[in-house]
A and B are shown apart, each in its own frame.
Chain A
Amino acid sequence: NAGVTQTPKFRVLKTGQSMTLLCAQDMNHEYMYWYRQDPGMGLRLIHYSVGEGTTAKGEVPDGYNVSRLKKQNFLLGLESAAPSQTSVYFCASTPRSAGELFFGEGSRLTVL
């Protein structure tokens, strides 16, 4: 099993450009999450989903949108990228509410 797969792994954007990060999991997990990791800040929750067709805001949702049209996929979108969104983004999933999260390997985004 692949587990949690994130694409792309690296991306460089210019300010104002848009992009979508894709997270796919093959473990049939109900819950999925998007976190961002910044030096000295730990992991901060952006958005999460408790099931297909549902999404909710986390700690730092501004500037991001998400969609969960299929149970196995969770998309994170940036409509107008800003330098403050330069970060490493991690997707995670779990078969039940939190507890052990299974993380992808991350997507490094640089906004110039």
Chain B
Amino acid sequence: QQQVKQSPQSLIVQKGGISIINCAYENTAFDYFPWYQQFPGKGPALLIAIRPDVSEKKEGRFTISFNKSAKQFSLHIMDSQPGDSATYFCAALSGVNTGFQKLVFGTGTRLLVSP
């Protein structure tokens, strides 16, 4: 059972275009939603994160949009560059009431930005 559903599985975008990756969740106890970026042969690294009390967070060309009522959040990459080509994972933090919190990851989106 996938607690965080991510789409699309892969994405090809022209240089300068907008990349959009979507995630949806069911557990209303999630209260922290990070995105991780992974380059081939490397481990994932935190890219940007949002808490559900805000609807949008922007860091440079990367923006998270969050819709609490729809239980959906998305990553937008503006002016996409070939260097953005990587696998992106959305995640959600669970376990607030158990005293230990662990991340649940989506299945990943492989982004290719063509020159």
Contacts and interface: CB of A to CB of B under 8 A. Distances in A.
B32 A103 contact: no
B102 A98 contact: yes
A82 interface: no
Given A42-B107, A42-B108, A48 B102 contact: yes
B45 A103 contact: yes
A21 interface: no
Nearest to A50: B100
Contacts, number: 57
Given A92-B43, A103-B43, A104-B43, A98 B101 contact: yes
Interface residues of B, number: 24
A106 B102 contact: no
B43 A42 contact: no
User: Size class of A's contact patch?
Assistant: 20 to 34
Contacts of A45: 102-103
Contacts of A27: none
B102 A99 contact: no
Interface string A1-18: 000100000000000000
Given A100-B46, A104-B43, A40 B100 contact: no
Interface of A: 4, 33, 35, 40-45, 48, 50, 56, 58, 90, 92, 97-101, 103-106
13 contacts: A33-B102, A42-B108, A43-B105, A45-B103, A98-B32, A98-B95, A99-B93, A100-B46, A100-B49, A103-B45, A104-B43, A105-B43, A106-B43
Interface of B: 2, 6, 9, 32, 34, 36, 41-46, 49, 89, 93, 95, 100-103, 105-108
Top-9 shortest CB links A-B: A103-B43, A98-B101, A42-B107, A43-B105, A97-B101, A42-B105, A100-B46, A98-B103, A105-B43
